[in-house]
Amino acid sequence: MEKYFEGTLIGTGKGFGFVKIEGIEEDFFIPPTSMFGALDGDKVVIERVPAKENNVAEVKKILEYNNPTIIGNLMYGLMGNYVVPDNPRIHKTVLISPKDLGNATVGDKVIAKITAQPSGPDDLLGEIVEVLGRASERSVLEKAIIRDNKIRDTFPKEVLDAATACGQEINQKDKEGRVDLTDRIICTIDGDDTKDIDDAISISKLKNGNYLLGVHIADVGQYVKKGGVIDQEAFARGTSTYPPGYVIPMLPSSLSNGICSLNEGVERLTLNCDMEINPDGETVNHKIYEGFIKSNARLTYDKVKDALEGLPVEEKYQNLLPQLKLMHELSDILGAKKEAEGYLEFDLPETEFLFNERGEVVDIQRHNNHFVHQIIENFMVVANETVAEHFFKEKVPFIYRVHEVPTPEKSTVLLNFMEGLGLSIRLPQCVTPKDYQDILKSIDGSPYEHALNKVLLMSLQKARYFEKCLGHFGLASTYYTHFTSPIRRYPDLSIHRIIKDYLHDKVDKNDKHLKAFVEEASIQASETEKRSEVGTRQIEDLRMAEYMKKHLGEQHTGTVNGVTAFGVFVELPSTVEGLVRIENLPEDEYEYDEKTMTLRGHHHTYAYGDEIKVQVAKVDLVKRQIDFCHVGVEFKEKVFKENIRRPKIDRNKIKPKENKNKFFGKKNKK
């Protein structure tokens, strides 16, 4: 039996941890006395404890420290100044000596650089390197979320200077060797507030009855050269991040909103994919090439919808109405084809925040995309599929967007949940998108449609970037990549440069450096995407909490959106979500049924999709938490006892942390 393993520690606020090892189903449990000073996210070597029946292990070595800095609140106690980490998985505080305080004061939200991470139970040592502001202010809490998720929100001066040097107009030299598309009728369709426009559309009907669809994407690779300062910054960011009300861009605005953005009436360089599509939705021919365009019009989703529904619109919409009708026609064909293949369409609305001139949230609404959003989605999907298939068959090292088949374990959870609803559904051993699509169709219009949409979505794997083409389960696509958004996604920018090199016969399909790059870029893009998504969701939760704090005591009718052993999550019609703890439900003896995901009592039962009347009882901005109570039940606040240990330590005995890359003669895996 193997004795030593390498993995990443998952910390807890109670001092113990877990390590998940690939290929081993059960996580290793690390007792508090066996942590070796490791913190959440540290890469560690663990040794299995043979005397224990379960997977119990102890940390033997920290290979890579994950917390060079810690964000938290500066406090004062018996041991002097200390920082309580925001990350609830870090169980230690950070002791700060008076000389390392800087200009921080008690009550500030700060960033502390860790100067010593003891291997025993002693707390961390650190110094304050940045004061974010008063910990009680919403803007400071938002800034802390951005920092904690390692989202870079400012550009170095050399990056801004390099971006400015790209200019704002293309010149004659830029056009050389490119196809002139300025005589085509080309338009963009985006949201009202979109400034970084990276995709445009052209369409026509051919004499043979087929459609010629042109997808024209901003040629960002022409300006962001591999290895340059802009590229290094873009690689580190990985993606643009879109918190409510603003954007943290991957590229400086002079690029993202300027020379790269396909703005109306100006010439722009593009990478193009022309597709000939027959009336059955099949792409029978395609061409990928460099060109330049001049967008005839910047259109918006809502006004295109008005134009197609015959409502009064501006002249530019009227002038483009024949093309818009053709787009709608082709989109319906492509949509029908994808549906026949098993495309999964979840009916999950988005949240829309409305702000006043001071940036305060004045309303939160449920926002549903309409058929014009689907037109653009269908066109982008077919372009991504076409490009992915082309380069897969050419055997060029590439970055793909993959979404793998659900695991048997997750499928079982879904089936158990449906069984609890009284739905008898069977899935084959090798599930297909069509199988999942049949489930979605079977619950269309039912009372539990919204709940089952969410549970079904949770049963799927997480999409990611990968150097191998594994298909996209949710889109029912055999080949898929991200080609259409190089302004805001680094994988798109990466494959643009590969495509451009391929078009100029500069690609060596066996180039080890290129293969290594697509592997590294895939991992980096997946990690930065995750951080961006988590950060955005946390900021949305914060803004929801800020808004609901003004509505304490109000009563609402919501829907059970999650069930746990300690209570139920309730979603309001506005999409705001809050928790009703068991003590704030009608009095009963409740038990959680894991199989059916229900909370059952003798007189009351709560399950996904149930309607429930609640009152806004408490809001905590710091925890981004909204507490509801059942209408008619007196709110009982959950009391958490502070359990932060502050041992006496001799700072002279603590050595600064080391990060050696060898253990038992084996190199640290990266």
- Statement: residue 392 has pLDDT above 90: yes
Q: How many domains does the chain have?
A: 5
Same domain assignment for residues 58 and 85:
no
Look at residue 663 in the predicted model and tell me its pLDDT: 29
Same domain, 164 and 257: yes
Question: pLDDT confidence of 43, banded at 50, 70, 90?
Answer: very high
User: Of residues 451 and 65, which shows the higher confidence score?
Assistant: 65
Average the pLDDT over 22-36 and give the result. 89
Indicate the pLDDT class of residue 53, thresholds 50, 70 and 90.
Answer: low
Instruction: Indicate if 380 and 507 belong to the same structural domain.
Output: yes
For residue 643, is pLDDT > 60?
A: no
Q: Give domain status of residue 335, yes or no.
A: no
Residue 441 in any domain: the answer is: yes
Residues 378 and 252 occupy one common structural domain = yes
- pLDDT reported for residue 410: 84
| CA nearest to 96, candidates 143, 141, 129 | 129
Sign of the dihedral through C-alpha 374, 375, 376, 379? positive
Q: Which residue shows structure tokens 């224990």?
A: 52
Q: How far apart are CA 52 and CA 30, in angstroms?
A: 12
Dihedral (Cα; 473, 475, 476, 480), 10-degree rounding: -90
Q: Does a structural domain hold residue 345?
A: no
- Residue 544 domain-assigned? no
Q: What is the mean pLDDT of residues 436-457?
A: 82
Q: What is the model's pLDDT at position 665?
A: 31
Closest by CA to 27, choosing from 43, 7, 41, is: 7
What pLDDT is recorded for position 413? 81
CATH number at residue 121: 2.40.50.700
Same domain for 55 and 75, yes or no, is no
- Evaluate whether residue 184 is within a structural domain: yes
Statement to judge: residues 100 and 242 lie in one domain: no
If asked whether residues 246 and 301 sit together in one domain, one would say: yes
Residue 454 pLDDT more than 60?
yes
Coil, helix or strand at residue 144: helix
* 149 within some domain: no
| Mean pLDDT for the stretch of residues 608-621 | 94
371 in the same domain as 291 = yes
Q: What is the DSSP string of 357-410?
A: TTS-EEEEEEE---HHHHHHHHHHHHHHHHHHHHHHHTT----EEEBPPPPHHH
Residue 99 belongs to a domain = yes
Q: What is the pLDDT of residues 6-20, one digit of tens each?
A: 999 999 989 999 999
Q: Is 646's pLDDT higher than 70?
A: no
Residue 105 CA to its chain's centroid (Å): 34
pLDDT of residue 405: 94
| Inside any domain, residue 339 | no
Q: What is the CATH number of the domain that holds 40?
A: 2.40.50.140
pLDDT per position as a tens digit, 213-267: 999 999 999 999 999 999 999 999 999 999 999 999 999 999 999 999 999 999 9
- The Cα-based distances of 316 to 191, 264, 295, 310, 324 in angstroms read 17, 11, 12, 14, 11
Q: Which residue has the higher pLDDT, 312 or 656?
A: 312
pLDDT at 602 over 80: yes
From 22, 50, 65, the end of a domain falls on 65
Residue 172 has pLDDT above 50, yes or no: yes
Last residue of a domain, one of 439, 460, 481: 460
In the predicted structure, residue 644 carries a pLDDT above the cut 50: no
Q: Using one digit for the tens of pLDDT, what is the confidence trace for 190-211?
A: 999 999 999 999 999 999 999 9
Q: Specify whether 41 is located in the same domain as 75.
A: no
Q: CA 474 to CA 426: how far, in whole Å?
A: 19
| Contact residues for 472 (Cβ-Cβ < 8 A; gap 6+) | 401, 402, 403, 463, 480
Task: Report the chain's mean pLDDT, rounded to a whole number.
Answer: 91
Statement to judge: residues 173 and 308 lie in one domain:
yes
13 & 131 share domain: no
pLDDT of residue 52: 63
pLDDT reading at 544 higher than 90: yes
Taking residues 358-368, what's their average pLDDT? 92
Burial 286-314 (b: 16+ CB within 10 A, else e): bebebbbbbbbbbbbbebbbbbbeeeebe
User: What is the number of residues in the chain?
Assistant: 670
Task: Give the pLDDT score at 596.
Answer: 80
Report the range of poorest mean pLDDT among 76-90, 615-629, 640-654: 640-654
Terminal Cα distance for the chain, rounded: 25
Question: What is the per-residue pLDDT for 639?
Answer: 56
**Within this chain, do residues 234 and 378 fall inside the same structural domain, yes or no?**
yes
Of 119-123, 229-233, 349-353, 652-656, minimum mean pLDDT range: 652-656
78, amino acid identity: L
Q: Are strands 577-581 and 598-600 parallel, antiparallel or unpaired?
A: unpaired
pLDDT at 642 over 80: no
Domain extent for 28: 4-65
